[in-house]
Each structure stands twice: as structure tokens, then as C-alpha cells.
Amino acid sequence: MATRPIHEGLFTKPDDPRGAALLAGRCGACGRHHFPAAETCPYCSAETGSVEAVGATGRIFLHTVVQTAPPGYTGPVPYGFGLVDLPEGLRVVTRLAAADLDALESGLRVRLEIAPLCTDEEGNEILSWAYRPDDGAA
Amino acid sequence: MATRPIHEGLFTKPDDPRGAALLAGRCGACGRHHFPAAETCPYCSAETGSVEAVGATGRIFLHTVVQTAPPGYTGPVPYGFGLVDLPEGLRVVTRLAAADLDALESGLRVRLEIAPLCTDEEGNEILSWAYRPDDGAA
Amino acid sequence: MSARPVYVAGVGIHPFGRFPDLDVTRLGMSAVRAALAEAQVERGGFQAAFCGTVYTGVAAGHKVLTALGLSGVPIVNVEAGCASGGAALSLGAAQVASGQRDTVLVFGMEKMPRGIIRSSFFPPWCEQAGLSPAPAYFALRARRLMQESGVTRSHLARVSVKNHRNGVDNPFAMYRKPCTEEEVLGAKMVCDPLTLFMLCSPNEGAAAVVLSAAPGPIGPPVRVLAATVRSHLPGSALGEHTPMSGLIGEDPPSPTELAAKEAFETASLGPRDLDFVEVQDTDSGREILSIEELGLCARGGGGAFVEEGVGERGGKLPVNPSGGLLSKGEPLGASALGQIVELAWQLRGAAEKRQVDGARTALAHTVGRGANASVAILQRG
Amino acid sequence: MSARPVYVAGVGIHPFGRFPDLDVTRLGMSAVRAALAEAQVERGGFQAAFCGTVYTGVAAGHKVLTALGLSGVPIVNVEAGCASGGAALSLGAAQVASGQRDTVLVFGMEKMPRGIIRSSFFPPWCEQAGLSPAPAYFALRARRLMQESGVTRSHLARVSVKNHRNGVDNPFAMYRKPCTEEEVLGAKMVCDPLTLFMLCSPNEGAAAVVLSAAPGPIGPPVRVLAATVRSHLPGSALGEHTPMSGLIGEDPPSPTELAAKEAFETASLGPRDLDFVEVQDTDSGREILSIEELGLCARGGGGAFVEEGVGERGGKLPVNPSGGLLSKGEPLGASALGQIVELAWQLRGAAEKRQVDGARTALAHTVGRGANASVAILQRG
Ligand SMILES: [Zn+2]
Ligand SMILES: [Zn+2]
């Protein structure tokens, strides 16, 4: 029983000194961020980019609640879903975790959480990310 | 364990007084045959057709031998495959059955055979058709 | 380019719904046969065919024309998500306008499984991470309208009530029962604020259009003034193409805005010249967003548009008098051409109980994966 | 129609082969990037894009241009079986010729699983009945050539030997090892008379072409004189569309004959004006049949054509100097455009070891499910 990320290169590993963060691409030409990181900048087509750790915290821009598991998803339902604005100038599509999904609202401060979402056929724990209302502790 | 045809409307049933035959469409406008029978004539687009029993016998136009089962096919391999010219003026794509597949040749007289090809998940026998070298008996 | 006029010489439709006994080829055959009959066109009477479809598989359009004995011409299958039919129309219309062909057959069809569309769009990890459900993206857009356009839950429900009421009179629609605002709001919540009655069903159906440089035999003549398709620009995380990120505060023009601008310019018309519209209403919020993006009201004016009943049958600018996708359901490759069929009948004055009085100019609009949007403007005369 | 000239302003290719670490979007990106670089075209420099693909799924071309930051223009995915790339080329070329667009990006890509292609073409009962294997249909056509065109097993083998030898010099081909006639004849029999070495492998790859009303920056200029696509006529049980029946003695013109006739007429050229050709060689027999159907020799003259070595490199009319599909493999949506890339390089004199001396005019040809055939004629100058 191992633990593995849902996909390589999306977020920092548990022992990363930068802490929990998303791994965004940053274009060497236009300076804009994109997520997930890609070799080619989706804004200006430049291929000189770097990867930066972003989004330890953010604020909810828009949210909803998914009531039924979509095809391929085996995590818990219902679950929160939305767009979170990151301080680095980036807006990301993300799952939203909360003890009370009804408490989600636009503008709410949230914190990145990297945690097991489900298990695969071999019983491995699959790590994914979500944003959760920030209780102020850090 | 029942017996069922591989598809409806392709060939006569075992108790059909017309004997073993393919069920071809015949156009009411241009008079041409097509197989399998369809509501619309593929030659002239007319929709006034009838179904006729054809091809109790025929002659091989072209043939080959399939060595490996293609996807979806669970009958015996190798098996003969080819085009048979029917006396009604029609040429059909068909499986060719023979004790000796090497004996197949163009011009050879063949006879229609409707026989079990495989079984489905529930164990039902699936009837399909083939042409087999005609030994002269009838 | 001095373009020739492009006429809709004939249209045909297979009802949208569920037809377990008919394969997708049969659906397509039915619509094509009807359109060719209206246009009085047979084999030899059209020089190219375009077939819009998403999930039908290889040689989809070829199978239809083969079965009808109508093959031989160039046949091309066209895919642009839910705008596939619109893309096919734009290609066909351009070939007639440029003089490359005199008559072109454009058709579309689809046979979707029940439930949430399992799109081949997302990589498996996105599905596993819970980031793929289309209704969730629709819900975010609806919520944004609630924040920025004065749209209320009641408005969202009223769009659904309107379209279902319109669909009652459409014999080609899947749902033909009226519903009340209370029923819409009380239906199962799919993704807040969208309830089950605010979302369209992917289903089955086909539609076909014969385009020609000359008017068809059934009058009055109807012309295609413009047929455009455009894809998204980078920058927004809330476009139909659902990238995983975008930039805060940067909202580039959407595919719909790009396609509409090009269509209005080509047609030398503006939103005020329209007598009615058929727009993408995959969900109630999408209809309101479509209205804003097409310039049928001011940005941010979506709530007021619904409140004032502008889009009601008998309103100043009827929206989806056919019942829209909410009552017809959405057979992806066919839906855009189903709109064109409706436009042609309305502009001929032949839409029976659905008729928009005196309709002379109308617009059709779809949005789909890619992201794509298609816009067509048709006019009588 | 007074058509404008259509230039190949730039071409690019991703090698054909097996690339387990690259998804199909990456393959497409690589080819598109290369073609745009050759043409020195960036975002804003092309007004439409066509993407040929068969099995990639929804919004295939959109994903490529989205990832490259190049979306915004109309993007349409085009499917016509193995002629998909040819169909995309014909649509793009027509838009440039008619003046609708100045510059159009045309690309194609595919990522096929190993082994026999499980086509979505056949209904399940046909597969269950054993009537679906493509190599069996190919074998029947090869056998017909043996009966009617003086083609021998040795001729079939020699086509394979020639193409594999040509492929040795093609860095974009999958198989780059020469083989002998004995090896080809002694390879595993797939469907008599076709052995494993006489059949091409479906594989992975991408190719891209920038079409423009003006010559590209890399000279000498190369023009598309014609790019046609046609579907089959009813009547033959041995066409690529594999209907289950046909009429004895009625052999209507094949899609290839229809597409070639139209292309030669459009280009005001004939077979004698060609310096080399790239033709569909899904199997060795198909290459010989293509030669006959394209009018490169008399009907029934296929055996003599091979016997006399006409199609050898250095022969009177080199056939598949790239190595053809037999050495390149066949990524369905990309294969026709891979031919165009080869033609462009050859006509510029930039084909390195594969160069056909002094090549000025060439033809490319594909055949695919539907049935479809595409023919393109390109010329330097
Ligand atoms: Zn950039
Ligand atoms: Zn007929």
C-alpha cells in the first residue's frame, strides 16, 4: 500500500520545504502563470518557462456543490467545486473541501490541502488537492 | 440453450420451405438486388422493394484465408473469406467453409450452409452462414 | 470576395428524443431524406456533403449517404463539439458563397447515452480528481450571472418554464410538458443553483439542410446571411474549453462574442435587426449568458432581460421559440442544424403553433467543447 | 471561379512510429510548431485551422492549438477515414483559393493501438460473423490484381522491398531496415497472398501544412494545384467501403478514379506530367491498384509496371520515395498530410537522400473508410 499523487507535477510532495503548493508554470516571456505547468505558454506560445510553487492560500471566486460522482471519480460526494483566486494572479479550477459545504461563499479565504482522495485498484492511496476554508491556524 | 441467428433478416430459418437462402433486397424501381436487405435501394434510392430468397448456390469470385480471429469473432480459425457470385446477379461478401481451405479457388461452385458459428455468453448457439464447396449432393 | 447568395433550399429533421430501435444511421437517413425532398434534390443534385457529429465513429456521414444510394460526392465528417452542426453549416455555406459548389448537403446526427456525457475531452486524472462534471462548470457560470448580472434563482427557473412551455408546441421536441417555476426550483438539485429541470438532456436526433445558390421550391426563399464558427482565446478559466486555470481579471472575448461579431459584420446587421433567436441553452444560465454575449442586451443586463419577459413568445425578442435544448434535448452533432430547420420554417411562416409573427430575420447560436461557438443569421427574401 | 494560387508556405512532421510517453496532443503540437516555424507564421497569421483525425475524440485539434496558445480562429476537426488529412487539405485549399482566407493551418494526427484496427465502421454482427478484417479485403483485391493485371506474388513482394528500401533514408519513418524479396515472401502469411511484410502498421504520428495565398519564406515556392476528396459510388462489393454486396460485372469508377479525374482536370495536367507520386500502400497490392486507378499505367498494367521497375527510385515514375505507409506506418489522420510534407520537401529539392532528381510536379493519394479517396497535385514554381 503506497501513496501516490493523482498525476505528476500538479502539486508539491509532502516533504517539500515550500510546503503544500500547486506547481504552476510561469512564462519566461510574458510572465503569466498557468496551471498545470506546461512547456508552452498558453497565452503567448513561448517555450521558456519555469515552474513555481503557488497558491498556499486563496479566495473563492465561484463555487458549487457536485451531488453525484461524475464518471471516473471515486472520492466522497457531495463535494465542493469552484474557482479560487490565488495571490500570484492566477485563478484555478479546484475541488473545495469543507466540513459544511453550505458555508462556502465567494470571497472566502481558503487554504490548500493535499490529502488522500481515493484508492486505486491495487489499494494505493491517491493524493489530490483541494482548497478548504482557512481557519486561521497555519 | 437456444439457437439464434447472428442477426435478424440475413437468411432463412431452418424450417423455411424455400430452404437455405440469403434474404436479399430487390428494388421495385431498378430491379437490382442488395444484401442485407434494406428499405432503401442503395443503387437508386427507391423505397419500394421486396425481400427475396437468393443464393442457395454460387461460384467463388475471389477468396482468401483469415489466419487470426479478428476482434469480435469467436468462430474457428483459420477460415475462408471471399466474394461469391450468386445466380441472381448478386455478388456477396461471405465466409467460406471447406474441409481443405487450400482447395478454394475462383470459379469453384459453392453451396450455402447455415450452421452454428459460435456461442454467446449465455451459451446460446449462434447461427451464421457460409458457402462451402458443392459436392454435387443436394 | 463578391459572395453569391446562399439559400436554404430545403430542411428536414428527425425528432429529438430516445429511439432505442433506430441506429444513428437511420436517424441521419430520415433527416436527409426529408431535406432533399423539400429541396426536390436527388443524386447528382448536390456536389458535396458535410456531416456534423461528435461520437458516432468513423465514416458516419458516409454510412448515411451510402444507405440512401447518394454517395459519390465529397463527404466530410465535421467535429467541433456541440457546435459541430454549426461548423458544418459554415463550411457548406462558404462553398456555395464562393462558387465552388452550387448545392451542398449539410446534416448532423447523434445518439447519446443517457446521463452525464462522458466526454473524451478530459484526461483520466481530471476525471479522477472530480474536475470533469459539465454541470458544475455550468453552475459556476450561472452563479457568476447571479453576482454580476442581477440574475436570480427565479430568473433561472423562468427560462426553463418558458422553454418547456414553447416545447409543448414542437412535435420534434423530447419534452412536451409545461412546468411551473415552483416545479423547476423544487426539482432535484444537480449543482447549485442548477436543478435537474434547468439542464438539458443529451439525447438522439438528426437534422439536415440543403444549401444552394438558388432558392428552393418552397417559398418564400430564406437566405443564410452569415454562418461563422470561432474557438476560444486563452485567458479565462470559465470558458467552455475548461482549462484548469486562467488569469484574474482577464476576460477575453468569448467564442460566442467572436462568432457573433463576425456574423453581424458579414450580414451587415446588428442585434436590433433580429426578430427572434435560437440560442444555446444547455442550462438556463447558459441561455442568459448567450443573450448577453450575443449583444441582445447589455453586459450585466441578463437578469433584467428575463424579468421584463423580452424573450417570451410574444415578447420583444423571442428566445428559443422552439423550446430550445431544454425541451428538445441535445443530440450534439444535430442540435445546431435543428436550430436552422426551425429558423427556416419560422422565416417561411410555416412554424405552425410556434410561429413568431412576421419573423423575417433570425439568429441561431451554439456553444461546444473546444471551446467553439457557432452563429448563423438567416433572413427571408 | 477565378481561383487564387495556393502555396505551401510551410510544413512540419512528427515522426511516425510508437511514442508511449507522448499523448496525441503532443504529437500534434510538434508538427504544428514545425510547420508554423517554416512558414514564419504566429498567432494572428492564420485565419482558420483544420485538423484531420479519426480516433482522437472530441475537440482534438482544439486541444493542440489551445496548448500552443494559438486558438481563437475557427478550428474544425475533419474525418474521412484514412483520407481525413486529404479532406482537411481540400477544405483548407479551397478557402485560400476562393479568397475566404489568406492563410490556413491544416494538420492531422493519430495515436493508434497496436494490431488490427478495431474500426467503429462495422456493426457488431459483422465482426461476430468474421466479415470485418481489413487485411482480408485487401487480400481479395490483391488476388483480383493477380487474376486481371498480371500481378505475381513476386511483384507484391517487390513493392514491399522497394518501399522498405526507400524508408531506410527517411528519418520520419517507423521501419528503416531493408528487406529482401525472400524475406517478404517468407514472412508470416496474414491473408493469402499478403504476408506480414506486405501490410502497413497503424501507428502514431502527426503532420502539418500551412497554406497561403503567398509563397512561404523558404524557396522555391510550391503550389497546391488541386486537392480533391471523393466518396464511393454504389455498385462494387470490393470498394474500401466494404458493403456486403455488389452487382456482378458492374465496376463503377472507384473513389480514387473520381478524385484523380477531378484533380487532373483542376490542375490542367495528366499523369504524364508527374515526376513522382506518393500513393496509398496500406498493402502492396493497394499500391499497384492505386497506380492503375490513378492512370499511371493502363488498367491491367500493374504487373508490368512493377516488372519494369517504373516505380523504383531512379525509375521513370518513382512511387513512394518516402517509403510509403509500408515503412512509415499509418497514423490515420496524419498520413495524407505526411505525404504533403514529403512532396513539399521533394519539390523544394530538400529531401536529402530521398531526393527525386529534378522533381517539379507530384501527386499524393490516400484511400480510406467511407469509402473515400483524396488526391493532391503539387508543383514547384
Ligand atoms: Zn507567455
Ligand atoms: Zn433501385
pLDDT tens-place string over residues D240-278: 777 899 999 888 999 999 999 999 999 999 999 999 999
Q: Is the dihedral of CA D54, D55, D56, D60 positive or negative?
A: positive
Query: Does C70 sit within 8 Å of B38, measured CB to CB?
Result: no
D80 has a chain C CB within 8 A of its CB: yes
pLDDT at C115: 63
State in Å: Cα D231 to ligand 2 middle: 19
State in Å: Cα C38 to ligand 2 middle: 21
Say how many domains are in chain D: 1
Considering only CB atoms, D125 lies closest to which of B7, B65, B66, namely B7
Q: Is residue D89 part of a domain?
A: yes
Is residue C118 pLDDT above 70, yes or no? Answer: no
Contact B105, B133 (CB under 8 A): no
Residue whose C-alpha is closest to residue C342's, from C322, C367, C314, C369: C322
- Reported ipTM: 0.95
**CATH code at C43?**
3.40.47.10
On the CB side of C226, how many CA atoms lie within 13 Å of its CA? 23
Q: How far is D26 from chain B (nearest CA, A)?
A: 29
By three-state DSSP, how is residue B35 classified? coil
Query: What is the per-residue DSSP string for D149-160?
Result: S---HHHHHHHH
Work out the average pLDDT over C249-273.
96
pLDDT at D87: 98
Q: Which residues in D have their CB inside 8 Å of a CB on A?
A: 29, 42-43, 66-70
User: How far is residue C212's CA from residue C97's CA, in Å, rounded to a whole number?
Assistant: 9
Residue whose C-alpha is closest to residue D34's, from D203, D169, D207: D207
pLDDT at C250: 84
Give me the residues of A, 65-124, that contact D with CB < 8 A.
none
| Segments forming the whole domain that contains residue C26 | 7-111
Counting ligands in written order, the one closest to the CA of B44 is: 2
- Buried/exposed C85-109: b ≥16 CB within 10 Å, e otherwise: bbbbbbbbbbbbbbbbbbbbbbbbb
Per the listing, cell 432463412 goes with: B12
Work out the average pLDDT over B10-22.
95
pLDDT, tens digit (0-9, with 9 covering 90-100), for D187-218: 999 999 999 999 999 999 999 999 999 999 99
Query: Does B106 sit within 8 Å of D129, measured CB to CB?
Result: no
CA–chain centroid gap for C41, Å, is 25
Query: Does B38 sit within 8 Å of C69, measured CB to CB?
Result: no
Residue whose C-alpha is closest to residue C376's, from C349, C343, C329: C343
Q: Is residue D193 part of a domain?
A: no
- Alpha helical stretches, state H, D98-198: 124-128, 134-148, 153-167, 181-186
Is residue C6 pLDDT above 90, yes or no? Answer: yes
CB contacts < 8 A (B, C): 17
D112-116 long-range CB contacts below 8 Å, 24 or more apart?
A: D112/D55, D112/D202, D112/D203, D112/D204, D112/D330, D112/D331, D112/D332, D113/D202, D114/D18, D114/D201, D114/D202, D116/B68, D116/B70, D116/B71
pLDDT, tens digit (0-9, with 9 covering 90-100), for C13-40: 999 999 999 999 999 999 999 999 999 9
Considering only residues D43 and D192, tell me which one the structure prediction assigns the higher pLDDT: D192
Contact A35, A25 (CB under 8 A): yes
Q: Is residue D61 part of a domain?
A: yes
Closest residue on chain C to B34 (Cα): C67
Q: How confident is the model at residue A27 (pLDDT cuts 50, 70, 90)?
A: very high
Q: How confident is the model at residue C173 (pLDDT cuts 50, 70, 90)?
A: very high
Work out the average pLDDT over B73-86.
97
Q: Is residue C13 part of a domain?
A: yes
Query: Does D124 sit within 8 Å of B66, measured CB to CB?
Result: no
pLDDT, tens digit (0-9, with 9 covering 90-100), for A102-116: 999 999 999 999 999
- Alpha helical stretches, state H, chain C: 24-39, 60-67, 84-97, 124-128, 134-148, 153-167, 181-186, 255-267, 284-293, 302-307, 324-328, 332-348
C338 has a chain D CB within 8 A of its CB: no
* Nine cell digits for residue D82: 484514412
In this structure, the number of other CB atoms found within 10 A of the CB of residue A12 comes to 19
pLDDT at D43: 86
Question: Which residues of C are known to be catalytic?
Answer: 82
Lowest-confidence region among A32-36, C117-121, C224-228, C365-369: C117-121
Whole-number Cα distances in Å, D152 to B78, D143, D164: 24, 9, 19
Whole-number Cα distances in Å, C371 to C191, C230, D165: 21, 8, 44
Catalytic residue among D51, D82, D179, D191: D82
Is residue C1 pLDDT above 80, yes or no? Answer: no
* Nine cell digits for residue D52: 484531420
pLDDT, tens digit (0-9, with 9 covering 90-100), for C149-162: 999 999 999 999 99
- Subunits with 3+ Cβ pairs within 8 Å of A are C, D
Q: Which residues in C have their CB inside 8 Å of a CB on A?
A: 116, 118, 123-125, 127-133, 135-136, 139-140, 143-144, 147, 188-194, 234-235, 237-238, 242-248
B17 has a chain D CB within 8 A of its CB: no
Dmax (CA) for chain D in angstroms is 55
Q: Is residue D17 part of a domain?
A: yes
* Nine cell digits for residue A45: 506560445
By three-state DSSP, how is residue C367 classified? strand
* Nine cell digits for residue C73: 460526392
pLDDT at D235: 84
Residue whose C-alpha is closest to residue C375's, from C285, C284, C296: C296
Q: Is residue C70 part of a domain?
A: yes
Q: Is residue D306 part of a domain?
A: no
**In chain A, % of residues over pLDDT 70:** 97
pLDDT at C294: 98
State in Å: Cα A48 to ligand 1 middle: 8
Q: Is residue D187 part of a domain?
A: no
CB contacts < 8 A (A, C): 119
Q: How far is D35 from chain C (nearest CA, A)?
A: 21
Considering only CB atoms, D74 lies closest to which of C55, C95, C230, namely C230
Query: Does B65 sit within 8 Å of D190, measured CB to CB?
Result: no
Q: Is D179 a catalytic residue?
A: no
- Do strands C245-247 and C276-278 pair parallel, antiparallel, or not at all (unpaired)? unpaired
pLDDT, tens digit (0-9, with 9 covering 90-100), for C50-107: 999 999 989 999 999 999 999 999 999 999 999 999 999 999 999 999 999 999 999 9
pLDDT, tens digit (0-9, with 9 covering 90-100), for D49-71: 999 999 998 999 999 999 999 99
Q: How far is C69 from chain B (nearest CA, A)?
A: 4
Amino acid in position C69: G
pLDDT at D96: 98
A42 has a chain C CB within 8 A of its CB: yes
Q: How far is C44 from chain B (nearest CA, A)?
A: 11
Amino acid in position B113: E
Is residue B137 pLDDT above 70, yes or no? Answer: no
By three-state DSSP, how is residue D65 classified? helix
State in Å: Cα D9 to ligand 1 middle: 26
Give the residues across from C377 on adjacent strands: C226, C363
Residue whose C-alpha is closest to residue B22's, from B94, B96, B109, B117: B94
Contact B63, B132 (CB under 8 A): no
* Nine cell digits for residue D96: 485560400
- List all residues 6 or more positions away from B84 whose beta carbon is below 8 Å from its beta carbon: B55, B58, B59, B60, B61, B91, B92, B94, B96, B110, B131
Is chain D touching chain A, with at least 3 CB–CB pairs below 8 Å? yes
Per the listing, cell 461579431 goes with: C261
- The strands making up A49-54's β-sheet, listed across from edge to edge, are A33-34, A22-27, A49-54
Amino acid in position D2: S
pLDDT, tens digit (0-9, with 9 covering 90-100), for A30-64: 999 999 999 999 999 999 999 999 999 999 999 99
User: How far is residue C8's CA from residue C339's CA, in Å, rounded to a whole number?
Assistant: 13
Instruction: Give all strands (DSSP E) within D163-244, no chain letters.
Output: 189-191, 194-195, 204-212, 222-231
Closest residue on chain B to C33 (Cα): B45
Q: Which residues in C have their CB inside 8 Å of a CB on B?
A: 29, 42-43, 66-70
pLDDT, tens digit (0-9, with 9 covering 90-100), for C321-376: 999 999 999 999 999 999 999 999 999 999 999 999 999 999 999 999 889 999 99
By three-state DSSP, how is residue B92 classified? strand
Is chain A touching chain B, with at least 3 CB–CB pairs below 8 Å? no
Residue whose C-alpha is closest to residue C83's, from B97, D75, B64: D75
Is residue C243 pLDDT above 90, yes or no? Answer: no
Q: How far is A134 from chain D (nearest CA, A)?
A: 33
pLDDT at C256: 97
Average pLDDT, chain D: 95
Closest residue on chain A to C243 (Cα): A93
Contact D288, D311 (CB under 8 A): no
User: How far is residue C141's CA from residue D277's CA, in Å, rounded to a whole number?
Assistant: 53
Q: How confident is the model at residue A72 (pLDDT cuts 50, 70, 90)?
A: very high
User: How far is residue C65's CA from residue D328's CA, in Å, rounded to a whole number?
Assistant: 32
Please tell me what DSSP assigns to residue C330: B
Work out the average pLDDT over B21-25.
98
